[in-house]
């Protein structure tokens, strides 16, 4: 199967390539695509070298699937051109997520809505994916009324420039800044740009995307997104208020039985999720599960996941695996 990876030289693109190899995806021909300045350079995949090609050359090769991780502007311009030649595009940017004609997919939750007609499929925001992975099974059981989430997000979510800024600051080296402030020894309560309502774009993604993924507008999500000086994964402090009461041991059991979730929750042994444990893993880790004693039917939990893997590359490749397994490409 011909597979194009658009944005193959970026942080997420590199993880995509690694995972396609790791998961033995049926790639017969890899088509790596990157910006014009990278065209002609080679990348290695499964001990074979491939030349990076332009968008037009990639479209001419008519890949079965194109996995995009090249930013929203690129996706808006080029995804429809791939779709026109019959390629199924899985897009990692925010470009198509809230488009009413496009599906927003977390495979464990809603892959069953996909059909052969879906030629542009949106991959959700990294912090949304780990949030809905934990919320979906609980929503099914107890019906959510309201969610309040505060995120503690890795610099890798911003990209290579931000990782370099943190490393430079730790080493005491002056360099290019990805953020308006130092990130080392700091916490920046701004992820992405501010919208007119005073929330950042990232916070509004967390408010809107879960409703679309769960196909339910009856619950609300209020978010505060914060960038912190870590590189291994995103963490989230989550408070959920349900319509129905719950039993804590049943909540743990429900999460434990959910594919893709690992429960790490034992205060006696100081066992709880942390980015250093989630890094390089595909699962979503949930812990600090406890009743909110100030509010009826409310629960607190802590959710951690590798934002480059399940938050981006793994989710996209799981979508591709579902398409292949169900003969939708």
Residues with a catalytic annotation lie at 126, 234
Beta bridge partners of 104: 122
106, 126 Cβ separation under 8 angstroms: no
The answer to whether 191 and 203 are in contact (CB under 8 A) is: yes
- Gyration radius of the chain's alpha carbons: 20
Q: Which of 134, 99, 327 has its CA nearest to residue 209?
A: 99
In contact, 307 and 233? CB cutoff 8 Å: yes
Distance CA(91)–CA(72), nearest Å, equals: 9
Which of these, 38, 82, 74, lies nearest to 58 by C-alpha position?
82
d(CA 35, CA 325): 31
Q: How many residues does the chain have?
A: 329
What interhelical angle do 11-22 and 314-325 show, nearest 10?
A: 40
Which residues make Cβ contacts (< 8 Å) with residue 318, sequence separation at least 6?
A: 107, 108, 111
Give the tokens for residue 288. Answer: 């600090």
State the first-to-last Cα distance of the chain, in angstroms, to the nearest integer: 10
Inter-residue contact 227 to 179 (CB < 8 Å): yes
């Amino acid at each position: 199967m011909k597979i194009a990876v658009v944005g193959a030289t970026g942080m997420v693109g590199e993880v995509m390539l690694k995972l396609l190899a790791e998961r033995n995806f049926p790639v017969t021909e890899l088509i790596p695509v990157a910006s014009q300045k990278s065209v002609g350079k080679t990348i290695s995949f499964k001990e074979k070298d491939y030349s990076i090609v332009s968008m037009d050359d990639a479209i001419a090769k008519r890949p079965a699937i194109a996995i995009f991780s090249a930013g929203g502007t690129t996706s808006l311009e080029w995804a429809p051109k791939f779709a026109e030649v019959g390629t199924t595009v899985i897009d990692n940017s925010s470009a198509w997520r809230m488009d009413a004609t496009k599906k927003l997919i977390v495979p464990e939750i809603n892959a069953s809505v996909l059909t052969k007609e879906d030629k542009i499929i949106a991959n959700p925001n990294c912090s949304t994916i780990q949030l809905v992975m934990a919320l979906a099974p609980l929503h099914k059981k107890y019906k959510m009324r309201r969610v309040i989430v505060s995120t503690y997000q890795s610099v890798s979510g911003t990209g290579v420039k931000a990782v370099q800024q943190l490393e430079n600051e730790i080493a005491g080296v002056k360099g290019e800044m990805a953020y308006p402030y130092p990130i080392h020894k700091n916490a920046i309560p701004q992820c992405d740009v501010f919208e007119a309502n005073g929330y950042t774009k990232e916070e509004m993604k967390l408010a809107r995307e879960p409703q679309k993924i769960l196909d339910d507008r009856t619950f609300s999500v209020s978010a505060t997104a914060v960038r912190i000086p870590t590189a291994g994964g995103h963490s989230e402090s989550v408070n959920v208020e349900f319509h129905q009461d719950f039993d804590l041991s049943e909540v743990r059991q429900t999460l434990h039985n959910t594919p893709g979730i690992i429960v790490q929750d034992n205060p006696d042994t100081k066992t709880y999720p942390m980015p250093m444990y989630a890094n390089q893993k595909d699962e979503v880790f949930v812990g600090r599960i406890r009743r909110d004693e100030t509010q009826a039917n409310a629960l607190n939990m802590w959710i951690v996941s590798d934002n480059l893997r399940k938050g981006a590359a793994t989710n996209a490749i799981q979508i591709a695996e579902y398409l292949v397994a169900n003969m939708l490409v």
